[in-house]
C-alpha cells in the first residue's frame, strides 16, 4: 500500500509539474528559485517585458525547491520549463550530466548577447569547453557593511582609506569599545571563510579533488578566530545581523542583497566596503551568479528559443530594476549607467580591482564544500571544536557526498 501511495504521489507531482512546464507554444515558462523579495523584482521585470507585447510572453514561476523539481522533470521528460535561473556552481554538474542546452541559437538570434557586454566572471561561469550554456543576470556577493557613526566614535575611519580592512586593524580596537559594542558579526561566516581562502592564495580543489583539510583552510579559520578570541566578534548564538542594525557593531559581513533591509532601518548610518582580509595585498568578496539557462527539452521550438533571446536582450538593456534587489547587475550597459551608480552595490563594479574581487567558485563539487564549511564555520571560529580533527571530518563529509552522488565511482 505504501508503494502504491508513493507511486500515486509521484504521478501527481509529474502531472503538476507538467502543467507548469513549457508546453504552451505562446508562453515561455520561466522557473526561478527567487523566493525572497528578489522574486517580486523579477516579477516586475517580466511584467515590463510582457508589456512590450512580444509574440511569445513570459510566465514567471517561483519554485522553492527548484533543483529537486529540475531533477524530476529532467528524469520524466515532462514539464521541463523553457527557461530557468540557476546558480553558477550548478553549471559544471549540469553540463556533465547533459542537462543543459547551449545558448548558441539564442545568442545568434540577438547578437548583443555576447561576452563583452557582461561582467567577465558572470559570463565565464557559463562557458564549458568553449561552449556557452548560460547568459548571466547578476553577481551577488558577501560584502562588508560599516556603521559610519561607530567608525567615527572609535576613530577607525582610516580603516577604509584603502578599501581593505585588515584583521590587524580590527584587532587594534581591542579594549577600546564600550560594553555591548563589537567590531564585526558572524553573518555569512562560511562565505567569509571562502573569501579568505582566496586571500591566502588557496583553493577548494586540487586536480579536481576536494581540498578541505589543507593548511590554507586551517589558516583561514585561524585568522578569523583571532577576532573572536579577542572578544571583538558578536557573541556566539546571538544574531549579529540584527545587532548591526541595532547600532552595536562596526562591520557586518552579509550579502549585497541586504542593503535594502539595512536602508529600511531608521537611524542606521551605513556604507559598504570589501570583506576584511589578513593582508592589504589581497581582498576577495566570495560571490555567485544567477544565470539564465535552458534545461534539456526536445519540445522547445526554434520559435521559443527566439522568444527567449528577445527576453534576455530586454533584460540586458533594462535590468536596472534588478539593482533594487541589491544585486550587481551583470549587464555592462546597466552597471555602467549613471542611474546604476546611485545604488550602493555599484561600489563593486566601480573599477577593475573591485570587479576582480568578485570571486565565483566553479568547482563541480563546490556545493558540498560550501555545505561542510557552513556547517562547521561558527564552531571553528569560536574554538569550540578541535580544528585539525574537524577539518578531517569536513574532508570526509565532502568525499562521502561526492561518492554518493556518483554511485561510488
Cβ partners under 8 Å of residue 187, min gap 6:
240, 241, 244, 252, 253, 254
Residue-range domain boundaries for the chain? 8-137+289-360, 142-287+365-405
* Contact partners, residue 157, CB within 8 Å, separation at least 6: 151
Looking only at the bridges linking them, the beta strands covering 27-32 and 57-62 are parallel
CATH fold match for the domains 8-137+289-360 and 142-287+365-405: yes
Q: How far is CA 13 from the centre of its chain?
A: 29
pLDDT at position 24:
78
> What three-state secondary structure class fits 98?
coil
pLDDT above 90 for 387: yes
pLDDT confidence of 283, banded at 50, 70, 90? very high
Task: Report the pLDDT value the prediction gives residue 193, as an integer from 0 to 100.
Answer: 98
pLDDT of residue 17: 45
Q: Please state the pTM of the whole predicted model.
A: 0.91
pLDDT digits (tens, 9 = 90+) for 234-257: 999 999 999 999 999 999 999 999
Query: CB under 8 Å to 315, separation ≥6 — which residues?
Result: 45, 49, 137, 292, 322, 331
What is the total residue count of the chain? 409
Residue 9 has pLDDT above 90, yes or no: no
For the cut 70, the answer to whether the pLDDT of residue 10 exceeds it is no
Mean pLDDT to the nearest integer, 222-234:
98
The yes-or-no verdict on residue 1 having pLDDT over 50 is no
Q: What percent of the chain has pLDDT over 90?
A: 91
- Check whether 2 has a pLDDT greater than 80: no
For 142-287+365-405, CATH gives: 3.40.190.10
CA proximity to 160, closest of 145, 171, 173, 175: 145
Q: How far apart are CA 126 and CA 161, in angstroms?
A: 35
DSSP label at 274?
A: P
State the Cα–Cα distance between residues 101 and 289, nearest whole angstrom. 18
Q: Which residues contact 18 (CB under 8 A, 6 or more apart)?
A: 73, 78, 79
**pLDDT average, residue stretch 181-190:** 98
> What is the Cα gyration radius of the chain?
22
- Which pLDDT value is given to residue 20? 55
Sign of the C-alpha dihedral computed for residues 278, 279, 283 and 288 taken in this order: negative
Output the pLDDT for position 200.
Answer: 97
Q: Work out the number of other CB atoms within 10 angstroms of the CB of residue 143.
A: 31
pLDDT category of residue 25 using cuts at 50, 70 and 90? confident
Residues 254 and 188: beta-carbon distance below 8 Å: yes
Domain range 8-137+289-360, CATH architecture: 3-Layer(aba) Sandwich (3.40)
Each residue of 123-182: pLDDT tens digit?
Answer: 999 999 999 999 999 999 999 999 999 999 999 999 999 999 999 999 999 999 999 999
Joined grid coordinates for residue 104: 548558441
pLDDT-based confidence at 16, cuts 50/70/90? very low
What are phi and psi for residue 10, nearest 5 degrees?
Answer: -65, -40
- Residue 405 and residue 409: Cα distance in Å, rounded? 9
* 382 contacts 228 by C-beta, under 8 angstroms: yes
Opening angle at CA 178, ends 177 and 180, nearest 5: 105
**120's grid cell:** 567577465
Q: What HEC string does 132-198 produce?
A: ECEEECEEEEEEEEEEHHHHHHCCCHHHHCCCCCEHHHHHCCCCCCCCCCEEECCCCHHHHHHHHHH
pLDDT tens digits, residue range 292-346?
Answer: 999 999 889 999 999 999 999 999 999 999 999 999 999 999 999 999 999 999 9
User: Where is average pLDDT lowest: 228-232, 263-267, 286-290, 401-405?
Assistant: 401-405
Residue 233 DSSP code: B
287 within 8 A of 139, measured Cβ to Cβ: yes
Q: How confident is the model at residue 12 (pLDDT cuts 50, 70, 90)?
A: very low
- Would you say 159 and 394 are in contact if contact means Cβ atoms under 8 Å apart? no
Average pLDDT, whole number, for the chain?
A: 93
Q: How far is CA 266 from CA 180, 247, 316, 331, 382, in A?
A: 20, 11, 34, 32, 32
Residue 408 has pLDDT above 90, yes or no: no
CB 270 within 8 A of CB 147: yes
Residue 8 has pLDDT above 60, yes or no: no
For residue 214, pLDDT beyond 50 = yes
Confidence of residue 223 (pLDDT cuts 50, 70, 90): very high
Amino acid at each position: 500500500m505504501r508503494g502504491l501511495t508513493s507511486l500515486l504521489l509521484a504521478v501527481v507531482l509529474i502531472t503538476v509539474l507538467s502543467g507548469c512546464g513549457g508546453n504552451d507554444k505562446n508562453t515561455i515558462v520561466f522557473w526561478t528559485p527567487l523566493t525572497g523579495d528578489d522574486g517580486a523584482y523579477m516579477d516586475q521585470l517580466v511584467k515590463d517585458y510582457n508589456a512590450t507585447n512580444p509574440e511569445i510572453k513570459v510566465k514567471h514561476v517561483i519554485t522553492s525547491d527548484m533543483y529537486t523539481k529540475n531533477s524530476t522533470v529532467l528524469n520524466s521528460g515532462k514539464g521541463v520549463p523553457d527557461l530557468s535561473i540557476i546558480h553558477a556552481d550548478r553549471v559544471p554538474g549540469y553540463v556533465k550530466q547533459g542537462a543543459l542546452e547551449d545558448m548558441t541559437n539564442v545568442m545568434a538570434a540577438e547578437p548583443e548577447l555576447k561576452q563583452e557586454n557582461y561582467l567577465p566572471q558572470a559570463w565565464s561561469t557559463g562557458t564549458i569547453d568553449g561552449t556557452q550554456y548560460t547568459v548571466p543576470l547578476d553577481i551577488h556577493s558577501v560584502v562588508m557593511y560599516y556603521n559610519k557613526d561607530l567608525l567615527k566614535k572609535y576613530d577607525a575611519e582610516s580603516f577604509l582609506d584603502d578599501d581593505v580592512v585588515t584583521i590587524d586593524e580590527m584587532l587594534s580596537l581591542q579594549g577600546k569599545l564600550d560594553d555591548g559594542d563589537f567590531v564585526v558579526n558572524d553573518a555569512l561566516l562560511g562565505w567569509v571563510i571562502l573569501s579568505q581562502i582566496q586571500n591566502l592564495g588557496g583553493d577548494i580543489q586540487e586536480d579536481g579533488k576536494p581540498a578541505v583539510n589543507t593548511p590554507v583552510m586551517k589558516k583561514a579559520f585561524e585568522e578569523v578566530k583571532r577576532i573572536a578570541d579577542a572578544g571583538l566578534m558578536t557573541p556566539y548564538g546571538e544574531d549579529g545581523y540584527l545587532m548591526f542594525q541595532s547600532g552595536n557593531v562596526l562591520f557586518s559581513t552579509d550579502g549585497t542583497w541586504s542593503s535594502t533591509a539595512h536602508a529600511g532601518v531608521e537611524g542606521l548610518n551605513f556604507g559598504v566596503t570589501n570583506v576584511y582580509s589578513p593582508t592589504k595585498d589581497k581582498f576577495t568578496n566570495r560571490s555567485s551568479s544567477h544565470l539564465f539557462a535552458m534545461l534539456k527539452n526536445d519540445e522547445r521550438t526554434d520559435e521559443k528559443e527566439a522568444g527567449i533571446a528577445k527576453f534576455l536582450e530586454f533584460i540586458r538593456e533594462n535590468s536596472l530594476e534588478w539593482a533594487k534587489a541589491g544585486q550587481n547587475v551583470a549587464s555592462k550597459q546597466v552597471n555602467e549607467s549613471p542611474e546604476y551608480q546611485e545604488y550602493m552595490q555599484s561600489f563593486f563594479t566601480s573599477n577593475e580591482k573591485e570587479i576582480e574581487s568578485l570571486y565565483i567558485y566553479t568547482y563541480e563539487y563546490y556545493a558540498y564544500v560550501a555545505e561542510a564549511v557552513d556547517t562547521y564555520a561558527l564552531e571553528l571560529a569560536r574554538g569550540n571544536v578541535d580544528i585539525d580533527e574537524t577539518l578531517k571530518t569536513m574532508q570526509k563529509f565532502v568525499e562521502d557526498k561526492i561518492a554518493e552522488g556518483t554511485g561510488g565511482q
